[in-house]
Amino acid sequence: MGLSIKVTDVKPDRDMNLIVSFENGVTKKYDTKQLLNQFPVYKKLKDEAFFNLVRVDCGGCAVAWDEDVDISEVELWEGGTPLTNS
């Protein structure tokens, strides 16, 4: 793994996607659906009201919904798709 890049902002988007901004100015879209079948704890994200509670956690090291459901900045960075500015 290379340099860790902290999350500065996260917004819920349609179809269980997150729009994640990083401290280096890059913004990526992350599809949380890929986690549903891998880890049972992520099934909570199917509830739209719960999904919309996402926030930046632990100084930018993750995004989180509650004490059980979070995604690390490394996973968001490596698994996210860069958004281009139009």
pTM: 0.91
Calpha distance 28→79 (Å, rounded) = 9
What is the pLDDT averaged over residues 49-57? 97
Question: Bridge-partner residues for 12, per DSSP?
Answer: 18
Residue 64 has pLDDT above 70, yes or no: yes
pLDDT tens digits for range 9-51: 999 999 999 999 999 999 999 999 999 889 999 999 999 999 9
What are the phi and psi torsion angles at 55 (to 5°)?
Answer: -150, 160
